[in-house]
Amino acid sequence: MRFPSLFSPFTIGPYQLKHRVVMAPLTRMRAEKPSLAPRPLNVEYYAQRTTQGGLIIAEASPVAATAFGSPGVPGIYSEAQIKGWRDVVDAVHARGGVIFLQLWHVGRVSHSSFQPGGVLPVAPSAVPIPELKTATAAGKSTAYETPRALETSEIAGVVHAFRQAAANAKAAGFDGVEIHGANGYLVEQFLQSHTNLRTDQYGGSIENRARFLMEVTQAAIEVWGADRVGVRLSPYGVANGSGEPDPMPLYSHVIRALDPLGLAYLHFVEPRSSGAGRAEVNHQNVPSAMGLFRPMWSGVLISAGGFTGETADAAIAAGHADAIAFGRIFISNPDLPRRLREGLPLTPYNRATFYGGDVAGYTDYPAYGELEKA
């Protein structure tokens, strides 16, 4: 029997892909200001990382002006943003790539300085993020504020913002969308018991806490069809104050509820790399999300987090995942699929240039064999 490898072709939804090296969604904070639309620099960045028959999941994009928690991230709720993303998509398609957009609402992982009118950010419940610091829109370090709990009557409007963002992504020419249900942001805040203290139909039981995710996913399906919608989860993650005391009952329910929908894929953040980019994280003695939950998922499974070419290939050969998403090393190696295929050395990344800035640490990493740009 021949086992699949990182460079075996496979199918996601209606798309035939030539390899299983996926570019993970990566926040880089380099959108045009003040429109928060992608600009020519972003077009170049994504084009550099496109391979024929490869999948890119574009960076998390707020679904509304109220969904932000960081400066300089591109949105997907205005005409200017749709146009900017269309230029990115066109460049990826011209090189034979497939590109999905990750839809994002940060919930309590925000600050009033990012909110229209300076109001408090919203969340399922008025539970602040303990201990961690954030930055205001002006860049000043501060404690997280206590968010405002969403009224039951407001939740349909947030779901609609995801639906409209999915439609905007379609207008921009994307090939599909991914719901960001990981890393302590709004969807995961609804899922987890310590951030969801609600007593209405969106709180209490696991089924109720999962209701928001299911409604958001269904909204995207109404726009795209299920086979062009993915969902990202981080069952054992500890990012942005997240963490369920016993993840198995919650995430077993969620995955079994999503499985019959016929989604394009399920995307895990492996707990060994959890941390949502705040620092170098390599948690030890933690379970494997793909190992635990693969038996509950009958569709395509993408896993991300700390993989090397060798461990990615082994995970696919063992059937634990169908594709592997790479993040940090895709930043510094725009031709990562080729390097992994040919066993070429990898360029180390510079964490100091991950967020904000311009060309440096963004589009100036050369492909293998190229002279560094002046």
Active site residues: 185
Reading phi first (left if > 0) and then psi (alpha if -120 to 50, else beta), residue 290 is in: alpha
The number of residues making up the chain comes to 374
Q: Cβ distance 177 to 100 under 8 Å? A: yes
Residue 278 CA to residue 280 CA, distance in Å, equals 7
For the chain, where are the alpha helices, taking DSSP H only?
40-48, 79-94, 152-171, 186-191, 206-209, 211-224, 247-258, 289-293, 309-317, 328-332, 336-342
CA distance 218 to 158: 13
What is the token pair recorded at 283?
């948690």
Which alpha helices (H) appear in 73-171, and where do they start and end? 79-94, 152-171
Structure token pair of residue 128: 């602040």
CA 278 to chain centre: 15
Dist CA 154 CA 151 (whole Å): 5
Name the packing angle between helices 211-224 and 247-258 (round to 10°).
20
Residues in contact with 260: Cβ distance below 8 Å, sequence separation at least 6, in sequence order: none
